Amino acid sequence: MKNLKYLFFPILIGICFILNSCENIKNSKYITIGMVDGWAEDVAMTHVAKAILDQQGYHVIIQKASTDMILASMNNEDTDLFMGVWLPYTHAKKVAKFPGLVNIGTNYDSGRIGLVVPEYIPVNSIEELNQHKDQFNHSIIGIEKGAGLTSGTDQAIIDYTLDYKQINSSTIAMITELQNAIQRKQWIVVAGWQPHWMFGKMKLKFLHDPKKVFGEAEQIKTYARKSFGKDHPELTKFFAKVHFDDEHMADLLLKMEHSKNKEATAIKWVEEHPELVKLWLDKK
């Protein structure tokens, strides 16, 4: 029993040291940002934020995961930030599950989700899809299961009584299918969103959604763990100011799409926009 007591105290001290170290990391210059790999706008904005903060002496760690995993991790105080929350429609139900999250800023104001077709296809509304179901092979090409856009597409199939099935795999697979179809002038309908570089590279259009299943204009917001503002008030102010207009977002997404090194491209983009960065950092 005496030996066990002697063993217990070093273990207890070790646990205290680890917990204290974790707390110090939370209050240090180590920042963790969740990112959904494959979401063009989230990847772009996250890398730009990292490039700026790295220059300010922070050490930013990007954690790639699904939306649900990132939100849950922030709710547990394990991840600091996520710049890809779409509201008031796409992620509303997901965010509502996690009360330990704080909205600290809006990155972009003109977001949109819905069903998308190439411009050469003579269909303009979701209501017209059943008239052309054979040409579309009764299929809507979707993205990852669990995405807000995916559940919205499932709801559209129900609300519009579409004789279609949604085919899900990944964002990259969806874009590949879309590019291949356009090269062959084939009929295709996909679940898509804007901002995305594909609208700058391909001639596309959203199908009119009279039932508003996909909502209207969306904002992309940055959410943080509950204690982030207390631990990093200066960064809370920074992320509250980070905002991309349509011109900056389109320019960034096109450059990122052609890049083989996202980190290097973000650093260069930051160097090319000193006045914008100065505004975000509140430096005069």
Domain assignment present for residue 98? The answer is yes
CA atoms within 13 A on the CB side of 284: 0
- Structure-block tokens of residue 227: 């204690």
Mean pLDDT check: name the lowest of 73-77, 173-177, 257-261: 257-261
The residue-averaged pLDDT of 203-227 equals: 96
Rounded distance, CA 132 to CA 124, Å?
12
Tell me if 109 sits within 8 A of 217, measured CB to CB.
Answer: yes
Q: Are residues 229 and 239 in the same domain?
A: yes
> How many CB atoms are closer than 10 A to CB 76?
11
| pLDDT 10s digits, 97-143 | 999 999 999 999 999 999 999 999 999 999 999 999 999 999 999 99
Q: Are residues 50 and 89 in the same domain?
A: yes
Q: Are residues 96 and 146 in the same domain?
A: no
Rounded distance, CA 210 to CA 106, Å?
27
Tell me if 232 sits within 8 A of 239, measured CB to CB.
Answer: no
Q: Are residues 118 and 202 in the same domain?
A: yes
Domain assignment present for residue 13? The answer is no
Q: Residue 181: give its domain's CATH number.
A: 3.40.190.100
**How high is the pLDDT of residue 241?**
97
Last residue of a domain, one of 162, 184, 206: 206
Domain assignment present for residue 22? The answer is no
Q: Check residues 30 and 2 and name the one with the higher pLDDT.
A: 30
- Using DSSP, state whether 114 is helix, strand or coil: strand
Q: Are residues 141 and 87 in the same domain?
A: no
**Domain limits for position 182:** 112-206
pLDDT band (50, 70, 90) for residue 200: confident
Q: Are residues 197 and 117 in the same domain?
A: yes
pLDDT reading at 283 higher than 90 = no
Q: Are residues 202 and 229 in the same domain?
A: no
Domain assignment present for residue 73? The answer is yes
pLDDT band (50, 70, 90) for residue 18: very low
Q: Are residues 148 and 167 in the same domain?
A: yes
Q: Are residues 225 and 87 in the same domain?
A: yes
Entry pTM: 0.77
Q: Are residues 202 and 117 in the same domain?
A: yes
